[in-house]
Chain A
């Protein structure tokens, strides 16, 4: 057999490659080096071929491109068919994709025809030094339990990986590799779904995942009026308002602001959490923050344990005091 290949799905939406693809490319490079193998990017879409070189800059040795009008936008059947065909042909050892809407949908649809073992939403991936098997660690039961999964026999070993947990490797324009063009055998008439339209979210300006500063409120906020103490601090810092799930469930903030397991994973330079107890569902979404400040009236609140600086007290006293101090210094 040729050297083991680690495949990375290069996720694109309307021709724009998602950053998570390069996060995975970095991990793929690491796993391939541990196995003494190669990394290949899988790039699927229409008029997309020119972007293959980007994958080399981030560490790929090869890129398989399937460029076809039927693949212009994501459709489960069209993508799963095209990609599982080339996976059957080239037999990768490992195949990773992002645990995004697209990646989780596609991974489930591909694993079935391949008969592959698939682990969803992994947070840690490593090669066992003795067995050379991929160990895949993921939260289950709403994050109350972590499980490490492996796959003895079936190949590829497939996993979807949570975005924004891994660093993006340095982009090196001197790197190159081989582009391999493949084809899909499906015609438009074979495909059973069609996009009618795409309605982008209003207020798509809220992109909490890219925010450098997030000020988040939770159940302790109480009601929509009280949210303004959070908003004022976020404004003073030029940051974004975040929240834990109870505020979304109560209709106080839309889902775009939710941090955590069923919301967004953030990696800001500064995270301030007020009135959030710190259920693991929230913590998994924010633990990548560089500087974490937590304010809670309950000294036993779990979120205080992941804080760099913890304050036990009434958020309605503390948060406005911070806002005032920031305004005073900025004004000075």
Chain B
């Protein structure tokens, strides 16, 4: 069985800010991490490997230093990985990204057929959750999003039964393989690497594929292949509210409570 995990290197989103004067994104000094959702997807793949036996391959698109996340995955038990790296990919939106990744997955599949493609539910930099279903559409395979657990897998029937988290409950779905799954964080707890595996993974030489290696149509990659454009970026607006600081004038909790409950009552919320 062959499993592919799409793993993205992202800036730690909680550290990214807008320069209030220049209006540009401040990324200097912001650490790069493996997208947390993708790490849960990897863990789910590794669990299938532990249970049923499988080859787990990582696919990452990004700059040369993104090999870090592939090595980390190898230290946790992934068998191999590929970095897709080319200047032609820069500025890709979700449509172009899904094209590039789907083509690379096809190429990976030429060497050994793929049964399951795992993606995280979304990446914490873009927060779109669009790339997974986009890859699935392009590969014309079954797609199941928001997976919180794999219940069972039947190698002979080539089906997998998964649980999906929706707003009001859990949907249990049987999907034909090959299937693309996007995984939620609550699916699992990520394992730790054993020290020898960690040391071994540093030596792993990550193969790098360019646009040419994957035989991509450059018109569908990068800025050229991206229908959406960013008009502007700006810091989140502060709500323009006159806050009455109650404690500027009163300090006794009982008096504070009286004033607040007056307001609650005026709003008609005490009926």
At the interface, yes or no: B254 with Cβ under 8 Å from chain A?
yes
Assuming the contacts A109-B133, A142-B127, A196-B161, asked whether A307 and B254 have C-beta atoms less than 8 A apart, the reply is no
Assuming the contacts A112-B95, A192-B175, A308-B241, asked whether A326 and B127 have C-beta atoms less than 8 A apart, the reply is no
Q: Are A290 and B258 in contact (CB under 8 A)?
A: no
At the interface, yes or no: B113 with Cβ under 8 Å from chain A?
no
Assuming the contacts A143-B236, A322-B260, A329-B265, asked whether A116 and B95 have C-beta atoms less than 8 A apart, the reply is yes
Interface flags for A297-332 (1: CB within 8 Å of B; 0: not) read 000000011111111110001100110111001100
Q: Are B246 and A269 in contact (CB under 8 A)?
A: no
Q: Are A147 and B233 in contact (CB under 8 A)?
A: yes
At the interface, yes or no: A184 with Cβ under 8 Å from chain B?
no
Q: Are B246 and A309 in contact (CB under 8 A)?
A: yes
Q: Give residues 14-54 of B contacting A (CB, 8 Å).
A: 14, 16-18, 25
At the interface, yes or no: B89 with Cβ under 8 Å from chain A?
no
At the interface, yes or no: B230 with Cβ under 8 Å from chain A?
yes
Q: How many A-B residue pairs have CB under 8 A?
A: 272
Q: Are B143 and A145 in contact (CB under 8 A)?
A: no
Could you tell me the distance between the alpha carbons of A106 and B247 in the complex, rounded to whole angstroms? Answer: 49
Residues of chain A contacted by B157 (CB below 8 angstroms) = none
Q: Give residues 246-272 of A contacting B (CB, 8 Å).
A: 255, 261, 269-270
- Nearest chain B CB to A67 CB, angstrom units: 22
Closest to A80 in B: B137
Q: Are A201 and B169 in contact (CB under 8 A)?
A: yes
Q: Are B98 and A309 in contact (CB under 8 A)?
A: no
Chain A positions near chain B (C-beta within 8 angstroms): 13, 76-77, 80, 100-102, 104-113, 115-121, 135, 139-154, 192-201, 204, 212-213, 237, 255, 261, 269-270, 280, 283-284, 287, 290-293, 304-313, 317-318, 321-322, 324-326, 329-330
Chain B positions near chain A (C-beta within 8 angstroms): 11, 13-14, 16-18, 25, 93-95, 98, 124-134, 136-138, 141-146, 161, 165-176, 179, 186, 226-239, 241, 243-247, 251, 253-254, 256-261, 263-265, 267-270
